[in-house]
Amino acid sequence: MNRFTIAALAGSVLLAASLLAQAPAVPPAVTPYKPGPVPPNGDLRYCIHYREVTPDFIEFLRQARINFLHWHGPFHGYTGMPARTELEKMTARTRKTIDEVHAAGAACILYIGPCFSYGDKDKRTILFDFYDKRWQEYTDYFGPKPGDLLEMAQCDAKGTPRPYSYGGQDGYHLCVNSPGVRQYTKGLIRMICEAGGDGSFYDGPYVSQGNCYCKWCRERFRTWLKETYTPDELRQHFDVTDPATAEPPLDSKGRLWLAWRKFGTWSLLDFLKDTKAYARTLNPNYIMTANYCMWSGEPFGPQVGSAENIELWSQAIDVIFDEAKYGAGPHMNQGVKNSNSLDYRYLLAAAHGKPVALLKTAPDGNVPDARPNLTRLAIAEGAAQGATWQFHYIQPPASAAAIEYDAFLAEHASVLTRARPWSPVAVWASLQQAYAGLTSYPPGVSRFLADQHIPHTFLIDEDIEKGIAPPCEVLILPQVAMISDAQIAMLLKFVENGGGLILLGPCGTHDAWGQVRAESALRRAAGVEVDWPKTPQRRESGNGRIACLPAVSLPGSANAGLSPAQEAGLAALPELIEWAGGHGLPASVGADSSIEVTTAFDGAQTMLVQLVNYNVDLNGRVKPAVNIPVKVRLPPCTAVDNAYLLSPDDGTKKALLPVVFRAGKAAGMPPCWMLAPGSDACANIEVPRLEIYDLVELQLKTVAALPANLPRIVVARTGEAAPGGQVTLALSLSRPAEARWAVEAPPEWQVKLTPGENGAATCVVGVPATAHQYNHSLVVSAVLSDNHKLTDHVWVDVAAPLHVELRAPPHADALSGQTRFDAVLHNRLAKPLTAQFSVTAPDGWTADTAPRQVELPASEAQSVTFWLRAPAAPKPGVYEVSVDVAAGAAGSARAAAGFAVLADFQALRCPRATEPPKLDGKLDDKCWTGEPAVKQFLRNDGKGPAKQQTRAWLAYDDKKLYVAMECIEGEPGTIIALVTNDGGEVWRDDSVEVFLDQAHTHQNAAHYVANVLGRRNPASGWDAVAVRTDVGWTIEMALPLGSVAPKPGDMIGLNLCRTRPARPQNEPEFSSWVFTGSSFHQPAKFGHLVFGE
């Protein structure tokens, strides 16, 4: 866990004279800060500063219109305090600085580190020195000195204080249930108030490893049990008759484990409430926030690893602050989109309406000139989600960009604060799964929907318990196993009232106590009797609908996207959303996944459509998108009255979009068209050019509702449009009905309509040879038997007749010296083509593909594979390969791609299995008879080979990756095997872990863990069998590779890991094939798996 400490002072806003040189001649008028509520989402501009507050920095605050400053200040607490005689001077200096910040228009909160300390207990340094020599000078702030400073420390199950280390400093974790910690923290709050501070930022609170066994926690746990559960619940679910004698469990096998987990999260909330209540007695406007640390972009890790639950914290704190992986701000790298929009969605759902600020710094980029555009993109991403990206370590090249974008957001704050994220599609992000060690995948589903341009929100457990409220029409459950009876009742009520559920993988298999259900009303309503369906299944239920999808193994975090196999597993979702909700999608965008769209609504008269272009590479180069068609569903009973296009990226800050009711453009202006494809009204907008961030403001008016029973126009398109080509439209209605179809096309386009059955029709559209390469509009209408007219809009993107994509791996395969590339050739004409294909390799490299002739079928794509062979000992660096395609009069096309040669390329070649192994845990199958792929594991503490070694073998077929591991154990009798249920915390036992980065982004990975009993986490979707041996234990695993079979030369990220828990006489040992440091969860450091013949 990365925490702000004194060592983080270097990570601050850097300003120089260059900033002032770029500032406007006349600075914006600034209203001095007045105590009051925190600015809401849409108007919060948050900055972190851990250095001296200089005049240049104050000027930056003014120029960037920062209204919320989080400053380190001197009252952090983890090193103690100076001599009491210095306190008055320190307070006066701090007050002067805070006064300057207030004058610049910003509130100023100060840092406190309540859960850790620095110092050596034996050498009596730092906090121990303060305790010994100066605590008695501060008893009016901190109360009486504890009998022992380590009484404030968190403890392990043996009662040993837990050590803390960061930035070369050692100390101890401190416990929020300790009276000494609470009084010490309150003393720091009082100092902040006396210095004029407006509040505090807690670096924490947290519980190391998710639980603390100190005497304070043991005592409070017993009291909490009595206050939280009824006597019957204690007896029935925990086998506790007298909570006063209950002991905290040591592992997940204990009956009280779920309650013990919940107690940890409650303790942190209680600490926040207690200290805030005290702060409000000193300052009624005191602002409190705390460092929630969703480091990897998923909420389950903080809950399990440190008991952090932002859904609970938001009851007490005033600003939702999330610290995440540094340098992982949004960007595009070698075709991989890094997006943090899913982080914002979860935080907003958890926030209970509180403002949200995300600290995930923008990457530095490859060159200094990259920083301005990467900063613009980071600000835009937060704004489009209805939240705030925090300024931290903004270097001079980016400061002008920050000022420019913040000025735009401040100018439009009134509308940004009114309109909140709005969509009829929601994903259940169920944090309660973590209490029982179960796994759910809301980030992966959210990333898929964002890539498909489907706006959506998250719902949390509490939202389900209260009842699923509008505008939600479709709720997606991403393998939500643990669901209470009350929540199931609300889900079924939602369906009975006309809502749609999509169950992705087994759902409702466990009750609220983490126990497996014998039966489930949710499964019955979905029509699932025994096994979960292996193909999509639909079922009408009451007035609503329930769809079931097979489980898909998704990464815990998905900021860098999904693999092709994972995307294929979710491919049915868009169609199922339309079916389950009985409406069209909330939005569609005629662009690739580099663009994300969000919608927001103020509940009355304003709707916002926001577009963010993630196509900003690490050199800061922006690839603009042009002529982007966007269709959005409007809230019920509304129509567009006026529409405006706003952008900070060009000189036209606000352009009127004329609203019309059929295809056509006003001269020189992009239009907004009203459509009625069914019982929904839609607005169709053309955005002429998107650099990074555009905002469309739709001013709405109230109109009569469209008839609810209208069918919906459904258009399926085949063929690729090119000058002289053709596109086929399959026209139908969402339910059979008589209809007279018409299609309006641009002049000179040919339209041929052929009626079909049940009111359907086929339309073949011929594109003239003179058509410009552009998005062209077609208006589709259907007149029903009652003369009601439905209208929809289809965009046809006319592009060059010949197009080529080059798909390159991020790294060359240095293991074999040859690397596979795939070129996809698109023929957009309605006739076959003969094309010449050639490859240009980097100097010294050779391609096995000489110029060749390729036959391209009409209106189809053809894939061509070629291999690059490396020279002997190629130098590390980035290389470029290109392909050229020429087809006579149809033209030519070219594509290039970069790939890297790594200085340290670690890879395993995985052979194809001639027959799959029999999973019995015994390594006697044919595929395990050869030399092991891995002969040695390394310790994660950097001390060389593991003492207890591990060997591994690999094999694959079209569907699965097979992994066998032999875990040598010098003390077989001491093997730890406590977790006996799938889905439990198996990593606490003797266990092995496999990480698969199938998308090969080095950002995310699917994670599989199995213990010595063969118990798995995740609980389903893969198989593992383990057996004991005389020298340790062996295990066989079968992991899903998805619906796209790997081909020889395919490359993915991989690491194999082993956990050997502490023995009575030995420390724990963590080891892995590729060394990743203190944590296994480091995809950037993983090795590679190369699929072989």
- Strand 625-633 relative to strand 457-459: parallel, antiparallel, unpaired? unpaired
Domains of the chain, by residue range, sit at 424-581, 587-702, 713-797, 802-901, 907-1091
- Taking the C-alpha atoms of residue 16 and residue 381, their distance in angstroms, rounded to an integer, is 26
pLDDT tens string 419-430 = 999 999 999 999
pLDDT tens string 519-559 = 889 999 999 877 889 899 999 998 999 999 998 888 888 88
Q: What is the average per-residue pLDDT within 756-764?
A: 93
Better-predicted residue by pLDDT, 668 or 745 = 745
pLDDT at 851: 67
Query: Do 447 and 558 touch, CB atoms closer than 8 A?
Result: yes
pLDDT at 795: 86
Q: Which CATH class is domain 713-797?
A: mainly beta
Where does 104-162 have alpha helices with state H? 127-133, 139-142
Query: Do 643 and 694 touch, CB atoms closer than 8 A?
Result: no
Q: Roughly what angle, to the nearest 10 degrees, separates helices 179-194 and 84-103?
A: 60
pLDDT tens string 4-35 = 332 233 333 333 333 333 434 445 677 899 88
- Taking the C-alpha atoms of residue 457 and residue 940, their distance in angstroms, rounded to an integer, is 39
Beta carbons within 8 Å of 837's beta carbon, 6+ residues apart: 823, 825, 849, 851, 852, 853, 854, 864, 883, 884, 885
Better-predicted residue by pLDDT, 596 or 828 = 596
789 has a pLDDT exceeding 60: yes
Q: What is the pTM of this model?
A: 0.83
Decide: helix, strand or coil at residue 930.
coil
Number of C-beta neighbours around residue 35 at 10 A: 13
Query: Do 446 and 427 touch, CB atoms closer than 8 A?
Result: yes
Closest C-alpha to 1010, from 1028, 985, 973, 1042: 985
Fold of 587-702: Immunoglobulin-like (2.60.40)
Q: Same CATH topology for 587-702 and 802-901?
A: yes
pLDDT at 393: 67
- Taking the C-alpha atoms of residue 490 and residue 493, their distance in angstroms, rounded to an integer, is 5
- Taking the C-alpha atoms of residue 701 and residue 640, their distance in angstroms, rounded to an integer, is 6
667 has a pLDDT exceeding 50: no
> String of b and e for 798-808 (b: at least 16 CB within 10 Å)?
bbebbbbbbeb
For the chain, the farthest-separated pair of C-alpha atoms sits apart, in whole angstroms, at 92
Q: Where are the beta strands (DSSP E) in 256-408?
A: 287-292, 319-323, 331-333, 336-338, 356-359, 388-389
Closest C-alpha to 1018, from 683, 612, 552, 371: 552
Query: Do 643 and 696 touch, CB atoms closer than 8 A?
Result: yes
- Taking the C-alpha atoms of residue 68 and residue 933, their distance in angstroms, rounded to an integer, is 54
- Strand 544-549 relative to strand 606-613: parallel, antiparallel, unpaired? unpaired
Give me the percent of the chain exceeding a pLDDT of 70. Answer: 95
pLDDT tens string 257-291 = 999 999 999 999 999 999 999 999 999 999 999 99
Q: Which CATH class is domain 802-901?
A: mainly beta
Yes or no: domain 907-1091 corresponds to CATH 2.60.40.1190:
yes
- Taking the C-alpha atoms of residue 931 and residue 924, their distance in angstroms, rounded to an integer, is 13
Query: Do 663 and 744 touch, CB atoms closer than 8 A?
Result: yes
Per-residue confidence band for 661, with pLDDT thresholds at 50, 70 and 90? low
Q: What is the average per-residue pLDDT within 740-755?
A: 93
pLDDT tens string 64-75 = 999 999 999 999
652 has a pLDDT exceeding 60: no
Q: How many CA atoms lie within 13 A of 930 on its CB side?
A: 10
pLDDT at 653: 58
Closest C-alpha to 452, from 478, 425, 479, 473: 425
How far the first Cα of the chain sits from its last, in Å, is: 41
- Strand 625-633 relative to strand 682-690: parallel, antiparallel, unpaired? antiparallel
Number of C-beta neighbours around residue 707 at 10 A: 10
- Taking the C-alpha atoms of residue 385 and residue 1087, their distance in angstroms, rounded to an integer, is 35
Q: Which residue has the tokens 């009303």?
A: 521
| CATH code, residues 424-581 | 3.40.50.880
- Taking the C-alpha atoms of residue 595 and residue 456, their distance in angstroms, rounded to an integer, is 15
